Amino acid sequence: MNRKSDKPIKITEVCLRDGSHVMQHQYTEDQVRRVARELDEAGMHYIEVSHGDGLGGSTLQYGKSLVDEMKLIEAAVDECQNSKVAVLLLPGIGTVNELKQAHGLGASLVRVATHVTEADVSAQHISMARELGMETLGFLMMAHMAPTEKLVEQAKLMESYGAQAVYVTDSAGALLPHEVKDRIAALRDSLSIEVGFHAHNNLSLAVANTLAAIEEGATRIDGSIRCLGAGAGNAQTEVLLSVLDRMGVNLGIDIYKMMDLAENTVGPMIPRPQEINRGSLVLGYAGVYSSFLLHAERASQRFGIDSRDILIELGKRKVVGGQEDMILDVAAELAKARKLEV
């Protein structure tokens, strides 16, 4: 299927990182151990473990973790015989110190994530990760917010710093399949390294968009089992693997074991069904960072403002990850404006 690349497709399971948003960062060590162990037994290639906002994200602004992420990383590494443990790092939230600590505990891959127009802040972290001997990938978030030419420019910067792959990251779940194809094709034509894709399901397009990315040559692909990720989740791993198998693409991951993990282990852990409700739908419609949903719902209750109005306004202001404090500001402004209207 992946006719445009001779590299094998590699899957990173993100439920223990992106799914941390849904769990309000309250993962226990036992939960991480069980999920990591079962993913390893199923043959998963990479398992990403960290706070939802990456290394160092356990703060009042982003949400405090129940268990220190380094302990969770160590637990996942301890459970994995074959799968590699990955971490996410957003410069400005995580530092090279946390990166070194995670590497020392056994994390062997890092995705260094920046807003789609801010790749220049990743240079130090990508360089350090390469010095440590880690697989080092770039992660351009909110990819719908920049034209394809800008995306290519930023990806080239990450490549120049030493990134071994760059992801088109649809953080808001706002991209349509033809937009994914355009972006992936442009990166494939412009880079000498691998290209990846990270989807969100807010418009019910995560699997379709991922297939579109693979058709254009993306080889680094993300999924979240039972759709356990921010907003309406990511490309549902067990579904994606089943579809790829039907298409003749066997990635060496046991689909039955993934189905059982989804049904028996991850499903019962999820605090609420991962479905496309009005909140997550608005994320994709407005092009807002998927992790903003829970923050907007809390602000809605506090100020008596419809969370959809908050998210739409955030989209108009082009608010990006790292600006979570703006959610309360916007909710307060909308509430004040409503009182003046009355």
Non-local (6+) Cβ contacts of 320 within 8 A are 115, 141, 142, 145, 289
The span from the CA of 195 to the CA of 148, in Å, is: 14
Please check if 198 is assigned to a binding site. Answer: yes
CA pair distance 108, 122, nearest whole angstrom: 18
Helix (H) or strand (E) run with residue 115 in it: strand 109-115
Measure the CA–CA gap between 248 and 9, rounded to whole angstroms.
Answer: 13
Sign of CA dihedral 219, 231, 98, 328: positive
Q: Is residue 17 part of an annotated ligand binding site?
A: yes
Among the listed residues 21, 25, 45, 144, the single catalytic one is 21
Residue 325 CB neighbours (<10 A): 11
Exposed/middle/buried for residue 20 (C-beta within 10 Å: 0-12, 13-18, 19+) = buried
Q: CA nearest 220: which of 258, 179, 191?
A: 191
Residue type, 257: K
Question: Residue 171 annotated as binding?
Answer: yes
- How far apart, in whole angstroms, are the C-alpha atoms of residue 45 and residue 337? 50
200 is in an annotated binding site: yes
- The verdict on whether residue 285 carries a ligand-binding annotation is no
The Cα–Cα gap between 226 and 269 comes to: 10
Is-catalytic flag, 21? Answer: yes
Tokens 């004040």: give the residue. 336
Residues paired with residue 197 on neighbouring β-strands, in sequence order: 168, 221
45 marked as part of a ligand binding site: no
How far is it, in rounded angstroms, from Cα 123 to Cα 137?
A: 12
Q: Are 65 and 51 in contact (CB under 8 A)?
A: yes
The dihedral formed by the CA atoms of 46, 49, 54 and 57, expressed in degrees to the nearest 10: 180
User: CA–CA separation, 76 vs 84, rounded Å?
Assistant: 9
Please enumerate, by residue number, every residue annotated as part of a binding site for Mn(2+).
18, 198, 200
Which residues are known binding-site members for substrate? 17-18, 171, 198, 289
Residues flagged as binding site: 17-18, 171, 198, 200, 289
The residues assigned a catalytic role are 21
